[in-house]
Amino acid sequence: MSQIILNGITWDHSRGYDPLAAASYAYEKASGMRVEWRRRSLKDFGDQSLNELAAQFDLLITDYPHSGVAAAAGCLLPLDDYLPADVLATLHAQSAGPSFSSYDYGGHQWALPVDAACQSACYRPDLLKESVPQDWSGVFALARKLAKERQFVGMALCPTDALCSFLSLTAQFGTAMEEEKKSALDERKTAAVLELMRGMRDHFHADSLAWNPVQLYEHMSTQDDLVYSPLAFNYNNYSRTGFSRHLLSYTDPPGKIAVLGGAGIAVSSKTKSRSEAVDFAAWICSAAVQRTVYVQNQGQPANDEAWQDQQANTLTHNFFYNSRQTLLHAYTRPRYAAWPAFQEWLGESLHQFLVNDSDIGQLLNGINERWLASKS
């Protein structure tokens, strides 16, 4: 009998690949079934078509805002039709924050959370000589103080991350983008958010507009001019001894509310090995795997038992303890079928607004018009 081989697609970072490869190796030794993983860029992880990927791979590491696409296109298996109810109930109960429910859309579970993240504040503990800022006025006060020493606050404000920070800030300011809303945003509150983002552009590190979180943390952990970042998706890898030149620490962002990130493992509806792929997905998301082989190999689990595990926190200098409260209350992005295209447009528009110093009113009108059009 020939060996079953499943093909999976993930994103190109040690957090996205290493724990999957290590867990798959352990699974093959135990079951005889092999899972081979390929990688795509971080941008493609957020933007690439699910339909295209599902035609090529058995297993997909995917982003929860694509759940509506999955429901409309039928390109992923509804896992609640294939997994026992008690298994789903256990994974739901053990979910790190809203990670599990973020893949529940249209009455079906389109993926299981395998990786959990949210936007957090981050700092160099060896360079920050005062308390972590608790609000945005404190962030800008720190930026002014650091500038005198030729040091900086930084952000990840490339288009994708300008979008995510905008979503976190609108949630903080009481005008979150929610699927059931008829209008996208309160204009007065959103104008204040956009002014705040302009202030980031003007007073933070000059490379912020080009950075994604990995680029931000690579700079922060290898250079000595970037001391603090108030809001970017967290990566536990940089809190591990030996991963980079300097350790980074993570904590609650100013405003406390932040957008949910992370990743789920989904099964293509076109796979020829449905039961095997579904079983593997449930196995790798289990607490037993997530708090051991997964976290031990650069993973950032989505199972809350791993986030509260002492060994996992010792390994990461308490990354999980320090980030958990923000994750538990994270804001979940809309997930309707047209949202991925809308969020890509919004990210590009926000980035151009910052680069070109465009008119706020014009951008607000564009956001509300596109929002309504995307839902019609």
Residues 250 and 125 in one domain: yes
Q: How many residues does the chain have?
A: 376
Q: What is the pLDDT of residue 49?
A: 81
Q: How many separate domains does the chain show?
A: 2
Residues 40 and 87 in one domain: yes
Residues 345 and 220 in one domain: yes
The reply to whether the predicted model has a pTM over 0.75 is: yes
Q: Which among 325, 318, 333 has a CA at the least distance from the CA of 97?
A: 325
- The rounded distance, in Å, linking the Cα atoms of 276 and 196 is 49
Average pLDDT, rounded, for the chain: 96
Residues 166 and 245 in one domain: yes
Residues 165 and 133 in one domain: yes
Q: What is the pLDDT of residue 1?
A: 53
Residues 65 and 194 in one domain: no
Residues 88 and 223 in one domain: no
From residue 35, alpha-carbon distances to 44, 258, 277, 278 in Å are 21, 34, 9, 12
Q: What is the pLDDT of residue 41?
A: 79
Residue 329 domain-assigned (yes or no) = no
Residues 112 and 187 in one domain: no
Q: At what angle do helices 159-172 and 187-203 cross, to 10 degrees?
A: 130
Residue 247 domain-assigned (yes or no) = yes
Residue 229 domain-assigned (yes or no) = yes
Q: What is the pLDDT of residue 79?
A: 98
Residues 216 and 358 in one domain: yes
Residue 331 domain-assigned (yes or no) = no
Residue 328 domain-assigned (yes or no) = no
Residues 134 and 172 in one domain: yes
Per-residue pLDDT of the chain (376 residues; tens, 9 = 90+): 578 999 999 999 999 999 999 999 999 999 999 999 999 876 776 566 888 899 999 999 999 999 999 999 999 999 999 999 999 999 999 999 999 999 999 999 999 999 999 999 999 999 999 999 999 999 999 999 999 999 999 999 999 999 999 999 999 999 999 998 877 789 999 999 999 999 999 999 999 999 999 999 999 999 999 999 999 999 999 999 999 999 999 999 999 999 999 999 999 999 999 999 999 999 999 999 999 999 999 999 999 999 999 999 999 999 999 999 999 999 999 999 999 999 999 999 999 999 999 999 999 999 999 999 998 8
> How far is Cα of residue 375 from the mean position of the Cα atoms in its chain?
24
Q: What is the CATH number of the domain that holds 204?
A: 3.40.190.10
- The rounded distance, in Å, linking the Cα atoms of 229 and 252 is 11
Residue 50 domain-assigned (yes or no) = yes
Residues 255 and 271 in one domain: no
Residues 275 and 246 in one domain: no
pLDDT in tens, 189-198: 999 999 999 9
Residue 332 domain-assigned (yes or no) = no
Residue 49 domain-assigned (yes or no) = yes
Q: Domain range spanning residue 318?
A: 5-117+261-323
